[in-house]
Amino acid sequence: MPKDAAGLIGALLSDNGFYQFCDTSEISGANFRKGVKSIFEGAFMAYRNPSMHANLTCSQREAFERIVQASQMMGILTSGEVRI
């Protein structure tokens, strides 16, 4: 069992993960899945943990960029399905 949110996301979105959000039968789909997995892991490590454990500030521009990124990530998640 993963020890943190980034590890959990990595396990869900891995090659054999439970969450399927693209067709990985072609190299472009496999590359897309791998890239999305990296985006999610990076976002959880870069944004969630520092924000939760320190009094960090961000500009309006940075906040807007994070909201746009989160929106894109949620769009990917809502387009997929859980395989059991």
pLDDT in tens, 6-49: 678 778 888 877 888 888 889 998 999 899 888 888 887 777 65
Cα–Cα separations (whole angstroms), residue 31 to 20, 26, 72: 14, 9, 17
> What pLDDT score does 71 carry?
92
Residue from 78, 17, 26, 53 nearest 9 by CA: 17
Report helix, strand or coil for 53. Answer: helix
Q: Judge whether 81 and 17 are in contact, CB under 8 Å.
A: no
User: What confidence tens digit (pLDDT) does each residue in 59-74 have?
Assistant: 899 889 988 998 998 8
Model confidence, pTM: 0.72
Rounded distance between C-alpha atoms, residue 65 and residue 78, angstroms:
20
pLDDT at 81: 67
